[in-house]
Amino acid sequence: MSNLKELMMAEISSVDTTPPAPPPRASGPALLTVGGLAAAFGVAACCALPLLMVSLGLGTAWLGGIAALAAPIRSLLLVFAALTLAGGAILLWRQQRYAATCGPNGVCTPPVVRVLTWIGLLVGVALLIAGYLYA
pLDDT at 50: 85
Which element (helix H / strand E) includes 133?
helix 111-133
**Residue predicted with more confidence, 6 or 69:** 69
What separation, in Å, do the N-terminal and C-terminal C-alpha atoms of the chain show?
80
Note whether 121 and 88 are within 8 A (CB): yes
Q: How many CA atoms lie within 13 A of 110 on its CB side?
A: 5
Give buried/exposed letters for 119-129 (b at 16+ CB in 10 A, else e): ebbebbbebbe
Average pLDDT over residues 59-77: 86
- 14 — pLDDT class (breaks 50, 70, 90): low
The mean-pLDDT minimum among 18-22, 39-43, 80-84, 118-122 falls in: 18-22
For residue 30, the model assigns a pLDDT of: 87
pLDDT digits (tens, 9 = 90+) for 17-29: 565 566 656 688 8
Query: Does residue 48 carry a pLDDT above 90?
Result: no
Query: Predicted confidence band at 16 (pLDDT cuts at 50, 70, 90)?
Result: low
Mean pLDDT rounded to a whole number for the chain: 82
- The more confidently predicted of residues 115 and 134 is 115
pLDDT at 11: 60
Question: Do 96 and 114 touch, CB atoms closer than 8 A?
Answer: yes
In this prediction, residue 125 carries a pLDDT of 95
Give phi and psi for 20, each to the nearest 5: -65, 155
Q: Which residue has the higher pLDDT, 24 or 36?
A: 36
Which pLDDT score is estimated for 59? 82
